Structure 1
């Protein structure tokens, strides 16, 4: 007798996703999974057509359910959706992403085979226009977003965190859900508590998710400034348990400020023309510009000189915005910082 697959609940916080929500939900509904399924959408106070699209989807498919998230924040929306979910396996999905075929069955299989408390896979960023493709290239580049397993790794292994994540309801109950005060980086913080409680987080590259990043450099700047600011909050909370790579953009911004300040003093004559040490500081922005341009030439998402320059600009914005936000958050805190890049 074939054992029935466990029922799953997809949970999706949603805010101002009129351009992506339908495709994200359709990708979930297209999953070939024989177990019972439901999608719980946690609707924030969107200012576009998102909520009407969500209600239309719910009216045409009984698997789609809606809960209200008046606070708009992702962790609160996740908690509300999971608390409303009926099924024992929780699959987090993002309205800006699309699950690959077979994602659900493979993830549930991995939970059983590994005994993990949470499993996740590869984020593959994609774009449709020159700017969004360049931003996607920055996400997919090890020089751009950094060294997280879910961007680059090709081998299954125990991981620090999981992109989105698939976990038993018991994992959620074990750690008390997502921390409602963490507005960015809530997934890393959730997985840290999972690991502290003795659970394993497992990465498998066969779990692929297409992610559609911001489509303008101004939105990217807002997003990464908020992300860096909230990473500083996590550093203040958990100190050295944060990976070293999260400190690099902030260190680069400090080096850049030091180089610019020294250059002004150099030009104004407050630093001797023969001094050698300013050139050590000047090397930081020059090296970063060269590294960003090199990364731009290696991006499969971009083509030609324009694509290279856009890719280099995307990486520069990621590093500067994250690093500036990190320093701001470390010194002044993060509680009032919101990511407004999808608020209109």
Structure 2
């Protein structure tokens, strides 16, 4: 890369009226030694997002628009990448905001490490008590922890990268996002990048503010879809998936087994020593319940509402994800999408 390098930001957009303007502003404010562009892939929004995007594009020549009628994230990302022109491609989410200096630091890290893709920390934040509760759990090892970008402190080689600052030449080599994958498409792309012998790098100095879903129902739908697609990825790629992905479905299985044991004990089918042995299944569930309570009561400046939401949100994340995962493993993800930004909240889970 030369000293002055062009940067293409790509952003899939669907029903993001409340977040889009701030996300776009954080991109356009980036300090870059070279030309920049922001390509928005517009899905069929119903909340006025498209009109807002058109107004933003009319006000700044750096913004370009492409259509994403299918509304699928990888399809929109690929359309935006194909329409973009510069050697550095930076994925941006409409529900997020880049920190000042993000792009300059990321390009410097690409040069320093020789990596093909660089990512940083997904720093979740909230405006309401519910969003704040979700954000705390996103940033916690007991909530959405595991990947370095959920709170890792050490710089180094990574399995995947949040959003991603990518070299176009590597994207051309390994192919773009797999459009048959509706969730987890970034993990799958980074798997191909690593299999091709390239480096994926985590830099904790890079930070992106992420705004979680605004309601319990939308959060549950999001996690169900994400879990289903992780199950699909396990079907496709087996042991390439980390062991941490199996914890939520294990919790679901334990709950089912405990319910069966309880029913057998109440009806007298299980009794005596067999009933006592079978009761051991309750121990990890009691430990989990204590963990949920401990999370809500942990020291820190939090309102009572936020603490109560944390004790509801944590099992919601785990159980929705785990149920989706089991469905994805057993029958595949099929046409399941993240419906948390689509339709009416009374629509049942797909």
User: Shorter-normalised TM-score: what interval?
Assistant: over 0.9
Given the alignment of the two structures, is residue 74 of structure 1 paired with residue 73 of structure 2, yes or no? yes
Kindly indicate whether the alpha-carbon contact (under 8 Å) linking 2:133 and 2:306 is maintained by their aligned counterparts in 1: yes
Q: Give the 5 Å matches for 1:161-200.
A: 161-200=160-199
State the partner residue of 1:229.
Answer: 228
How far off is 1:120 after superposition?
A: 0.3
State the partner residue of 2:116.
Answer: 117
State the partner residue of 1:155.
Answer: 154
Q: Deviations over 1:253-282 (max 9, x none)?
A: 001110011111111211105532232111
State the partner residue of 1:256.
Answer: 255
Kindly indicate whether the alpha-carbon contact (under 8 Å) linking 1:33 and 1:105 is maintained by their aligned counterparts in 2: yes
Gapped runs of 5+ residues in structure 1? Answer: none
Kindly indicate whether the alpha-carbon contact (under 8 Å) linking 1:40 and 1:81 is maintained by their aligned counterparts in 2: yes
Query: Normalised by the size of structure 1, how large is the TM-score?
Result: 0.96
Which shows bigger deviation, 332-341 or 238-247?
332-341
Q: Secondary structure at the match of 1:276?
A: helix
Q: Secondary structure at the match of 1:341?
A: helix
Q: Deviations over 1:32-63 (max 9, x none)?
A: 22321100000011111110010000000000
State the partner residue of 1:244.
Answer: 243
Kindly indicate whether the alpha-carbon contact (under 8 Å) linking 1:43 and 1:66 is maintained by their aligned counterparts in 2: yes
Kindly indicate whether the alpha-carbon contact (under 8 Å) linking 1:222 and 1:340 is maintained by their aligned counterparts in 2: yes
Gapped runs of 5+ residues in structure 2? Answer: 344-350
Query: Normalised by the size of structure 2, how large is the TM-score?
Result: 0.95
State the partner residue of 2:330.
Answer: 331
How far off is 1:28 after superposition?
A: 0.6
Q: Distance in 2 between matches of 1:97 and 1:293?
A: 30
CA RMSD after TM alignment: 1.3
Given the alignment of the two structures, is residue 283 of structure 1 paired with residue 283 of structure 2, yes or no? yes
Q: Distance in 2 between matches of 1:135 and 1:310?
A: 8
Q: Deviations over 1:200-244 (max 9, x none)?
A: 000001100000000111011000000000001100010001000
State the partner residue of 1:100.
Answer: 99
Kindly indicate whether the alpha-carbon contact (under 8 Å) linking 2:261 and 2:279 is maintained by their aligned counterparts in 1: no
- Runs of 4+ aligned structure 1 residues displaced above 2 Å come to 295-300, 304-309
State the partner residue of 1:293.
Answer: 293
Q: Secondary structure at the match of 1:31?
A: coil
Q: Number of paired residues?
A: 341
Q: Secondary structure at the match of 2:311?
A: helix
State the partner residue of 1:53.
Answer: 52
State the partner residue of 2:42.
Answer: 43
Q: Distance in 2 between matches of 1:29 and 1:70?
A: 25
